[in-house]
């Protein structure tokens, strides 16, 4: 039995001062005997663990970028109890054997739960359908060709129909590769000033329009991940209003940074979709404020240091964001945009769990203890050692942020 | 002057004029029988060309030698460029040889700027992708300044491949800084999505050159283009090439410029390139003189 006192516990959408304990079975209890030794939380926040819909776990095959040991450490350090592994591994998670491997290997590191996604097409080639049914039997929770958006609309139709046959969650990374392939940063002033090809907004919006039409016509829900522009979000909101079953998520970095951050050629700001302009960023933050988004997802994309070194165009896309996603959101949404934590926390916890029809993590009597302790008052400078992910491609290194995760408990045990 | 020259924004207007004045002094020296001066004696200039170049490299090398510097050359083969880590390793190796000034050309924008972070000496950007080519901007603006006495208020028309040009980015920056009026004229497929709002754009060449004191052609960067940008070179030359028939009615004292190497019959017709208005070869001499002036300014601090 471990007892905590004077914490602000997140209960039914509010922070309330309450003492609680983890019992010997790892479950939460509010029945505390008087006089027991308790950890004094001194007003720190106790929050049910987070859920990430979009994590590049890299294994099998790219352990030089990330491995299960590091990713589970990074997840627990970041307050997450569950993360969704993207299928762009080597080999690609396009069959049940790879899904089996991920599920079994991940269980060896019981710091968080890993839900694998399978690919929609074999080897992410956009041609032949993956064994989606068998992958589901092995534990795949959804399907996506993330990073290699299916370009052929006819193939996309069949992939959606087949995924829907097995009642799999479908997530699309909307990108017209013919429009984007020469680009390194957002098209416009920044691409001009940097002298690099631009990735235009229409590379995203034209595919979103396609997906909306397919979803409407086929009556199959689709989720658009990492929406990066105002126009993209407006198209989705309009489709939702028309009754189309389309949902979307936004990343912490698209809420926090803009294309101007790339001007110094810092490859840690190089992401796909690219950081857009301030107008887009503000609009996305405003959507969170108005409660109009379905989820916030990290798109954690770790890379080895040598890959992100020097020439901007040779560096791969991606930010290693799992460690700092929650703290960055706290700074962007609560401190800067004045959106209370209790208003946006659901977008990175209960809402994405609902999308995937998964049980919630709550601080309730008798449920397994999955929570983290957050000191919202602490100011700290992030060093490379504070990034537990193998990928140190995090532009927050060297920056001072408000709020720090102190401890994380998973299945009743302290994992960070 | 700052320690490094990466883009035109590293220079103030006064510093640019100082380089022009010093450039004029060096240009005079270049006419003398003995063309060597001792300013950089004992200094080492490393010429790092990660991309093929003829005139820029020769110009920098000769400028350094005219000022009595020692020069070393590094030219990377295209294949070794693909391993990014080798750039850093190459620089660190050269750094151990105590180089004072690095002159860097690289196909990837930003590499000269990144090199400034790991070395002790100075870096001069000799062209990085489509990002910047500040010494070309300086020599172009010098050429106009020398011809007209001042750049302010002049009308400059620029034709050709804007989208893929590093020269245009540095030229726009320096000419706007010095108060010129700029008009770009090319096909919409050869224009970037964004351009400085002070710059005019037209698809009509007659309109572009009507009041122009300077007509500048930019090289068609064939090697950087993807497909379906222009139908072909004949069509491009017909509508956007610098041709006698198109510039026939304009004022008499205009000059024609081009950073070279020129594609005769594509962005500029041969008779124009060889006409009395053309200062294309003089630009090369001016390049040498202004690069000497830039070395000089770097060592003056």
pLDDT in tens, A369-416: 999 999 999 999 999 999 999 999 999 999 999 999 999 999 999 999
3-class state of residue B253 by DSSP: coil
pLDDT at residue number B220: 85
Q: Which residues of A touch B108 (CB under 8 A)?
A: 310-314
Q: Can you tell me which residue has the tokens 């989705």?
A: A236
CB contact under 8 A, B114 and A265: yes
- Give ranges for CATH 2.30.40.10 in chain A: 2-45+366-414
Over chain B (301 residues), the average pLDDT of each successive run of 10 is 96 97 97 93 94 91 96 73 68 92 95 94 96 98 97 96 93 98 95 96 93 93 68 89 77 90 92 94 97 93 52
User: Could you say which DSSP state residue B191 is in?
Assistant: S
> What is the rounded CA–CA span in Å between residue A395 and residue B140?
38
Q: Which CATH superfamily is domain A49-355 in?
A: Metal-dependent hydrolases (3.20.20.140)
CA distances from A292 to A256, A287, A296, A347, A351 (A): 17, 5, 11, 10, 11
**Residue A389 CA: distances (Å) to CA of A50, A76, A291:** 17, 11, 30
Whether chain B has a CB inside 8 Å of the CB on A265: the answer is yes
Rounded Cα distance between A49 and A78, Å, is 9
Which of helix, strand or coil describes residue A328? helix
Q: Is A311's CB within 8 Å of B166's CB?
A: no
Gap between the Cα atoms of B201 and B168, Å rounded: 13
Interface of A with B in 281-340 (CB under 8 A): 306-307, 309-315
Show which of residues 380-399 on chain A sit within 8 Å of chain B, judged by CB atoms.
none
Q: Which of residues 164-183 of A touch B (CB under 8 A)?
A: 182
CA angle A37, A42, A48 (to 5 degrees): 90
Answer yes or no: do B131 and A196 touch at CB < 8 A. yes
State the pairing for strand pair A80-85/A50-55.
Answer: parallel
Residue A190 scores a pLDDT above 60:
yes
- Tell me, yes or no, if A213 comes closer than 8 A to chain B by beta carbon: no
How many CB atoms neighbour CB A25 within 10 A? 11
Residue B95 and residue B46: Cα distance in Å, rounded? 10
- Cβ within 8 Å, pair A194-B109: yes
pLDDT in tens, A240-261: 999 999 999 999 999 999 999 9
Mean pLDDT of A289-316: 94
In this structure, is the dihedral angle defined by the CA atoms of residues A161, A166, A167 and A172, taken in order, positive or negative? negative
Q: Give the best residue of B81, B84, B191, B229 to mutate against chain A (max A CB count within 10 A).
A: B84
Task: At B153, give phi and psi (nearest 5°).
Answer: 80, -5
Q: Hey, what domains does chain B have and what are their CATH numbers?
A: 8-132+284-300 (3.40.50.1370), 134-280 (3.40.50.1370)
Exposure on the CB side of residue B155, measured as CA atoms within 13 A: 15
Distance from the Cα of A277 to chain B's closest Cα (Å) equals 13
Given a cut of 90, is residue A182 above it in pLDDT? Answer: no
Rounded mean pLDDT of A336-356? Answer: 98
pLDDT in the model for residue B89: 83
- Segment A40-65, tens digit of pLDDT: 999 999 999 999 999 999 999 999 99
CA distance B108 to chain A (A): 6
Task: Answer whether A265 sits within 8 Å of B109, measured CB to CB.
Answer: yes
Q: Which of A52, A67, A294, A299 is catalytic?
A: A299
Please tell me the predicted confidence (pLDDT) of residue B249: 60
Is the four-CA dihedral B80, B85, B88, B89 of positive or negative sign? negative
Q: What mean pLDDT, rounded, does chain A reach? A: 97
Stated as kind and residue range, the H or E segment containing A203 is helix A202-218
Catalytic residue status for A299: yes
Task: Please report the pLDDT score of residue B227 as a whole number.
Answer: 65
Interfacial B residues in 120-139 facing A (CB < 8 Å)? 128-132
| ipTM of predicted assembly, 2 dp | 0.90
Cross-chain residue pair B130–A195, CB shorter than 8 Å: yes
Residue A343 has pLDDT above 90, yes or no: yes
Q: Which residues of A touch B194 (CB under 8 A)?
A: 187-189, 191-192
User: A311 CA to chain B: closest CA distance, Å?
Assistant: 6
For residue B261, whether the previous peptide bond is cis, meaning omega lies within 30 degrees of 0, is yes
Strand spans (E) along chain B: 44-49, 70-75, 101-106, 122-128, 155-160, 181-185, 200-202, 214-218, 255-257
Report the distance separating Cα A338 and Cα A130, nearest Å: 44
Residue A229 tokens read as 């522009």
pLDDT score recorded for residue B79 = 45
CATH code reported for the domain at A2-45+366-414: 2.30.40.10
**CATH 3.20.20.140, chain A: domain bounds:** 49-355
Cβ A160 vs Cβ A222: under 8 Å: yes
Q: Which of A311, A312, A315, A398 to mutate to test the interface with B (most CBs of B within 10 A)?
A: A311
The CB density around residue A264, as the number of other CB atoms within 10 Å, is: 12
% of chain B beyond a pLDDT of 90:
76
Q: State whether the Cα torsion B291-B295-B296-B298 is positive or negative.
A: positive
Closest in A188, A194, A310 to B84, CB measured: A310
Rounded distance between C-alpha atoms, residue A324 and residue A380, angstroms: 12
Q: Looking at residue B248, what DSSP letter applies?
A: T
Please answer whether residues B36 and B68 qualify as being in contact, where contact means their C-beta atoms are separated by less than 8 angstroms. yes
pLDDT, residue B223, reads: 60
């Amino acid at each position: 039995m471990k007892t905590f006192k004077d914490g602000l516990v997140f209960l039914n959408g509010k922070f309330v001062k309450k003492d609680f304990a983890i019992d010997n079975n790892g479950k939460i209890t509010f029945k505390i005997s008087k006089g027991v030794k308790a950890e004094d939380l001194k007003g720190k926040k106790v929050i049910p663990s987070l859920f990430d819909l979009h994590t590049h776990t890299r294994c099998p095959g790219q352990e030089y970028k990330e491995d299960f040991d590091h990713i589970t450490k990074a997840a627990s350090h970041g307050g997450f109890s569950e993360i969704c592994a993207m299928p762009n591994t080597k080999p690609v998670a396009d069959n049940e054997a790879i899904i089996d491997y991920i599920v079994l290997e991940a269980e060896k590191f019981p710091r968080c739960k890993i839900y694998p996604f399978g690919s929609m097409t074999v080897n992410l080639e956009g041609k032949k359908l993956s064994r989606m049914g068998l992958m589901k039997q092995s534990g795949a929770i959804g399907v996506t060709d993330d990073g290699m958006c299916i370009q052929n609309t006819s193939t996309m139709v069949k992939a959606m129909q087949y995924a829907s046959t097995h009642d799999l969650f479908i997530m699309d990374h909307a990108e017209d590769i013919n429009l984007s392939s020469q680009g390194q940063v957002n098209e416009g002033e920044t691409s001009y000033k940097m002298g690099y090809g631009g990735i235009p907004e229409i590379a995203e919006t034209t595919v979103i329009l396609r997906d909306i039409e397919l979803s409407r016509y086929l009556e199959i829900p689709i989720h658009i991940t990492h929406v990066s522009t105002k126009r993209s979000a407006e198209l989705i909101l309009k489709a939702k209003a028309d009754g189309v079953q389309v949902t979307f998520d936004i990343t912490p970095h698209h809420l926090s940074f803009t294309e101007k951050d790339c001007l110094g050629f810092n490859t840690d700001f190089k992401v796909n979709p690219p950081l857009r302009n301030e107008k887009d960023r503000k609009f996305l933050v405003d959507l969170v404020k108005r409660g109009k988004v379905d989820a916030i997802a990290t798109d954690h994309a770790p890379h080895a240091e040598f890959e992100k070194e020097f020439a901007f165009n040779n560096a791969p896309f991606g930010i290693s964001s799992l460690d700092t996603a929650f703290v960055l959101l706290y700074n962007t949404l609560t401190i800067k945009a004045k959106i209370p934590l209790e208003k946006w926390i659901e977008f990175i916890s209960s809402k994405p769990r609902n999308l995937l029809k998964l049980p919630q993590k709550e601080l309730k009597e008798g449920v397994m203890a999955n929570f983290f302790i957050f000191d919202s008052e602490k100011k700290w400078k992030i060093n490379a050692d504070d990034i537990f992910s193998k990928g140190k491609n995090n532009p927050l290194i060297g920056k001072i942020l408000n709020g720090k995760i102190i401890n994380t408990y998973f299945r009743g045990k302290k994992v960070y | 002057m700052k320690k490094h020259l990466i883009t035109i924004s590293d220079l103030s207007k006064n510093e640019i004029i100082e380089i022009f004045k010093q450039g004029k002094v060096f240009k005079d020296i270049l006419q003398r029988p003995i063309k060597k001066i001792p300013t950089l004696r004992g200094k080492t200039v490393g010429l790092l060309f990660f991309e093929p170049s003829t005139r820029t490299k020769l110009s920098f090398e000769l400028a350094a030698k005219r000022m009595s510097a020692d020069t070393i050359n590094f030219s990377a083969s295209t294949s070794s460029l693909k391993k990014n880590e080798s750039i850093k390793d190459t620089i660190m190796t050269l750094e151990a040889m105590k180089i004072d000034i690095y002159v860097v050309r690289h196909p990837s924008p930003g590499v000269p700027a990144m090199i400034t972070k790991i070395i002790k000496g100075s870096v001069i950007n000799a062209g990085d992708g489509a990002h910047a080519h500040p010494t070309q901007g300086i020599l172009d603006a010098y050429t106009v300044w020398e011809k007209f006495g001042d750049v302010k208020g002049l009308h400059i028309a620029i034709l050709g491949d804007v989208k893929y040009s590093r020269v245009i980015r540095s030229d726009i920056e320096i000419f706007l800084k010095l108060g010129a009026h700029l008009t770009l004229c090319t096909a919409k497929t050869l224009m970037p999505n964004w351009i400085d709002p002070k710059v005019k754009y037209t698809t009509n060449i007659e309109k572009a050159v009507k009041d122009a004191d300077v007509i500048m052609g930019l090289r068609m960067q064939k090697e950087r283009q993807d497909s379906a940008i222009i139908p072909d070179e004949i069509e491009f030359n017909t509508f956007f090439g610098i041709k006698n028939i198109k510039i026939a009615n304009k004022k008499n004292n205009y000059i024609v410029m081009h950073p070279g190497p020129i594609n005769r019959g594509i962005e500029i017709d041969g008779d124009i390139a060889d006409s009395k208005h053309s200062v294309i070869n003089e630009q090369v001499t001016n390049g040498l003189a202004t690069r000497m002036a830039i070395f000089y300014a770097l060592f003056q601090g």
